[in-house]
Each structure stands twice: as C-alpha cells, then as structure tokens.
Amino acid sequence: MTTSPAVQAAAATLADAAAYTEAVGTATAAAAAYYATGESTLDDDAYDRLVRGIAAYEETHPDEMSAASPTGKVAGGAVVGDVPHTVPMLSLDNVFSAEQLLSWTASVERRIGRPVEQWSVEAKLDGLAIAARYENGRLARLITRGDGSAGEDVSHAVGTIIGLPDRLAEPVTLEVRGEVLMTTEQFEHANTVRTEHGGAPFANPRNGAAGTLRAKDRQYTVEMTFFGYGVLPLPTSDADLAERMGEWPHSELMTYVAGLGVHTAETTAVAPRTLKTVDEVQARIDEIAALRPELPFGIDGIVIKADRAADQAAAGSGSRAPRWAIAYKLPAVEKVTTLLGVEWNVGRTGVIAPRAVLRPVEIDGSTVSYATLHNPADITRRGLRIGDQVMVYKAGDIIPRIEAPVAHLRTGDEQPIVFPEACPQCGSDIDTSEQRWRCVRGRNCRLVASVSYAAGRDQLDIEGLGATRVVQLVEAGLVADFADLFTLTRGQLLDLDRMGETSTDNLLAAIDGARTRPLSRVFCALGVRGTGRSMSRRISRHFATMEHIRAADAEALQQVEGIGVEKAKVVVAELAELAPLIDRLTAAGVNMTEPGATPPADADADADAADAADAEGGEAGGQAAPAADAGPLDGMTVVVTGAMTGALEKLSRNQMNELIERAGGKSSSSVSKRTSLLVAGENAGSKREKAVQLGTRIVAPDEFADLVADFLDETG
C-alpha cells in the first residue's frame, strides 16, 4: 500500500541509511519479543510509527531496502512456524483517517471494476490471531498466525479459552479463525495469579494473551477469550459444504459460525454490521470508537471488508494482506513512559491516595503526566519502582492508570517506592487495616475540604460559603463538621471579620435554604466513600428516605445499580461512622427524603400501613407512599450538551441530571447507540454531530423543558 503524506506525517522520521538500519533492527527485535513472550520493547503505537517510518524511507530509497525489513511481512517477519496453513493467514493493511478510508474503498472498486455491493464493519480486537481446526465437529488443533504461511501449534491451550467449544453443534470439518484476548476482568485475574506465583505482572492484556497462549507447564492456568472473525473449509471438508462456504458472503459465514457454538462479537456492543455506503461505514466507525471506553475488552481499530465472496475474489490478495479488507486504526490508548515519582494525597474523607508522576506522554490526543495507583497494596502487587518504564493506559474520559512495569527494560537503577509512615497532611497515624490507607482523623484531617465540598453547588449549594469563609468558621471554632452550619447564629457570624449585616443575613438565608435540598444532595454532601453525585442519586431514588438507607444491609445495597459486594460493605461502614453527623442534620431540620421516590417494598410495613388505613377508613395518616407513575423519560438514556436556555438556563449539569432521573430517565455523559435523547443547547458541538450520525432524537432546551415540566419544580 502506497505511503500517503498523512501516514508519513504520523510516522517516525528516518534521516539517513544509518537511522533506517537501526530502525529495522529495533522493529524486528520488538516484534520477535512480542511474538515470543508477549514482552515487546515498544508499545503498539511506537511500533506502528516506526514501521511506517521504515516504509516511508523504503519508498524514497528502494535500492536500500533491507531483507530484514518488517514491511510487507506478516508479523513483521518475526515468527516462523512449523504447522503449514492450508490458506495463508494474512495481516491487514492500515488506514488512519476518513480520507484514507475513502481512497482505499475507491481503489477496491477500481480493482474489481464495479461498486462493492456491501461492506462488513467490525471491531479490530486487540489480541493474538489463531486458527482453530475442527475435525468432524471436534476441536483438534490450535495454530498461531506465525509468518502467515505456517504457525506454531498451541493446542496445549485448549480448555483455557472461552468461546472455542470442544465440540461444534454439527459434525463438520473446517477451520475457524479469530482473535484470542484477555478481557479486562481476565487480565486483572491473570496478574493477581501471576504475581502470587512470583511472576512479574503482564504490561497489558494483549501481551498477557500472547504470553499465556504460548506458556507450557505453568503451575497455574488463566482463562482467555476467543472471538471468531473468519471461517474456511479444510482439504478434508465435505465438498458440498466447502462449495457453499465459498459462495456465502462474509456476514453469512459468521452467522453460520455462531450457530455452530463459536463465540463471535455478534452479542457485544460492537457487533459486526453490513452497510451499503462509505458514509454509513464511517458513521459505524465513529460509533464503535465512541463505545471503546465502555468495552470489557480491548480494540485498536475497526476492520472493513468487502462482504460478498465475488468482490473478495475479484480484489484478490497480496503477499502480506488481502486487498478487500483494511484496518482503520484508532489512536493509541496506551504508551510506555517513565515513572518519575509518587505523590501521596489526602482526600476529604481522609483516604491517602498515591498518584504516579510520569514523564509526560501523548496518549489519545492529550498529554498525560499523572496516573492513578489506587492504593499501596496495588503498588506492591504490581512491583512498581521509581525509574521503571511503565505501560500507561487511557481510554475516553477515564483517569489514566498504570498497567504494569515493563520489567525486562529495567537497568538496575530503579528505586523502591517509599510508603508514608504518617499522614502527609496532618502527621497523624495511618490506619492501614484496609487496602485504601486512611488518616486516623478521617474527615477531620481535611475538615475545610470536607465542609467546602458539602456546601458546594452540586451538594447543598450554600451560596456565599466558599473555602475562605469555611477556614474562618473552622479557625473560630464554630464548625467541626457541616452539621454545625445549621446551628450558626446571627451574632456568631457578625463577630467574624468582614461579615456585615447584609452578608450575614444572606448566608443564613442560604443555609436555611439548604435544609430543603433533596436527599440525593444531602447524601452526596456526606461524602460517603465509593459514591459520588450519580451514585448518591441512585441510592436515594432506590430507598427514598435516609431511614431506609441506614436500615439497609450490604445485601440490600447491592440492589442499587453499580454497587457490588465490596462497595456495599464500604457504604454500610461509612454510614455507621457518619451516624452522629446524620442524626445532628436530622435534628437541625435538614430534609431526608427524595422527591418522587418510593421506598422499596417491605411486607411488614405494607401490612401495618394497610391496617392503619382500614382503621382510619382511608390512607394511613398519609404515611404510605403511593406507587410512582412512570415518568416521561421512563427507560430512556439522555445526554445533555451545550448551554441551556429558557426554563433550564439556571440549572447546573448536575441539576439537569437530577431532573432526568426524577423524570424516569438515566443520565449519561456520552452519545452512543444506547442514547435515546440528546438535549442540545447552544454550541452543542461534537455530541450533536454524533447524535445526527446515529439517528438519535435531538431536542432543544425549551422542548425538553415542556417534556419534563411536571418535575422542574422539584429540581434545586
């Protein structure tokens, strides 16, 4: 494939023959390490840029091309297998933009002499390609891609790969080709098991799959997952079946494979689709790219194929790649950089959180200088050291994280990470009984931050109570937690510096108004570990009252979307710790109910309410909550973008999310195929464009305000 100017711009620049020779050696060594053990000296993006630079140099200096060059070779020429493929198992050429995709589709149609009838579009899974041979319906052999002509026998891995059944639904003889990878969950489990047995953690899921697939005689086993992306007959296949398979479009072949019991991407959010036009193909590419952060497995691009067998045959194949398929590569979400240090920050609840300081690196369009390290136990498990080369991962809006050190790049100069012996904020002792360390003073360690957070716009929204004023109240001994705000008197405030009668009265009025905030705001103000604005709304909508929340055990809390076993335990423990504060808030007249929410069913309470209603000849003193009617947004996922106007103009984004959820919907921050409605204000930008591409319903702020008018008064 000719190297275009756009590709050259993204490639490594090789100034002369010496630089070219060095680049060929580096790329070849990196490919050999990756395909041998899963441990490459380069991350995926760096390798791609280096190979593109090599290709660009060879295009302008064809007489200097090295026989060792990775260009034009499957797996970069790094692998030689001993099991011949019956049909070459080729790689894919790449494009990196909509313009390059358009140029490629045009070249395919010129080659076959007619428009392509239909394109197949599917995610490019980030794993290792293998061929699974079935004989009379039984799994007989697993073979890697190798150099495309022959691969390695990795049949020892049979039984560890989910998605490859031992026996097909029909006794057919054929070969299924696909990708073996580790899901996020499998990767985390693999590294836990690996480190428990004294091994270094894998740098990323792709390397984990490559290393695990080839491993033999380990003391432990870990699971991987297979996704089929192709199928072909073998020389011993039934002749009629082989003839029919040769005529089926790619999409029908994959439907057939799935029917045999082989795992494909059909049941995932990035299920393959067949499309007619290049515009439709590009829209699906954008849709898959938007879904990338939400996927439980890695993808590094999108594969576009001519779907019809006749079109594929007419386009043909080169020595390295078919001419009827291309990979549209997405920006890298992982890079290798240096761990320069670790900062220990104390949060408003007293949690001591480590943060990695990195040599700045460009990932997915932004510069990353810091990454989360979770907790000391995580640092120990990953075996991190200052000076390590580390694999940093970033996807969408997710905070960058370090996957693992690239242990084979260590020089011996790396230093251990020193854990704090006292609280970095106040010098008090540290509670190390849980994985997340915490100052023994808890919230009191960061009292100003804790009270300021509670008073913030998205919590109690107390206007006039900024951090400077909170410091003043704390230093005067008037506030020891945010419940004390509701006991402040006019005289106490007037005694403070720079507090006149007007500012005092305004602050007292704002505090009084905070008593009426919905339960979700009050719960969020508590700063319960493991919860935030969205989770506070879900908990409050589910339980309806603070009394019901406090009465819930860990099992009951797990009924709330997004709360698992461990988080439920944390919430229960936090609420027990916060009990005195909650009691004082209740005594101060702070609202402890969620408007429009109905408590979960309780047989005893229902029976008591019914008895009371019978005795009174009606409702039980108005205490039994009626069943909530479905709101106008029931079952809908709603995204808000741009500046709101009219009745919505003064609502913060958090208040908009509250409004959506009170009206029965689910708020989201990104547009995807699951989005039901986009509320597009002024300067809506890319989210509106995305919604147009997906055919998502779009409404203006005024139209949305009319739709949820009955719930507007409850927001605030």
State the amino acid at position 311 in one-letter form.
Answer: D
What is the C-alpha separation between 295 and 672, in angstroms, rounded?
12
Helix (H, G, I), strand (E, B) or coil at 68: coil
Q: Which element (helix H / strand E) includes 373?
A: none
| Paired tokens of 404 | 């693992």
Q: Which residues contact 704 (CB under 8 A, 6 or more apart)?
A: 648, 677, 679
Are 700 and 648 contacting, i.e. CB atoms less than 8 angstroms apart? no
Give ∠ CA 341-345-350 in degrees, rounded to 5: 150
Side by side, the strands of the sheet bearing 273-275 are 94-95, 325-329, 299-306, 119-125, 273-275
**φ/ψ of residue 663, rounded to 5:** -85, 10
Are 174 and 232 contacting, i.e. CB atoms less than 8 angstroms apart? yes
- Whole-angstrom CA distances from 552 to 515, 548, 619 are 24, 6, 26
- Whole-angstrom CA distances from 385 to 194, 283, 375, 400, 623 are 18, 43, 14, 18, 60
Largest interatomic CA distance in the chain: 100
Residues pairing with 86 in the sheet: none
Catalytic annotation, residues: 124
Helix (H, G, I), strand (E, B) or coil at 471: helix
Rg (CA), the chain: 30
- Whole-angstrom CA distances from 55 to 3, 6, 346 are 7, 13, 50
What is the C-alpha separation between 438 and 450, in angstroms, rounded?
15
Strands 637-641 and 128-135 come out as unpaired
Are 614 and 643 contacting, i.e. CB atoms less than 8 angstroms apart? no
* 8-state DSSP, 575: H
Are 592 and 519 contacting, i.e. CB atoms less than 8 angstroms apart? yes
What is the C-alpha separation between 105 and 690, in angstroms, rounded?
23
What is the C-alpha separation between 282 and 266, in angstroms, rounded?
19
State the amino acid at position 472 in one-letter form.
Answer: Q
Which of these, 459, 447, 546, lies nearest to 510 by C-alpha position? 459
What is the C-alpha separation between 706 and 530, in angstroms, rounded?
35
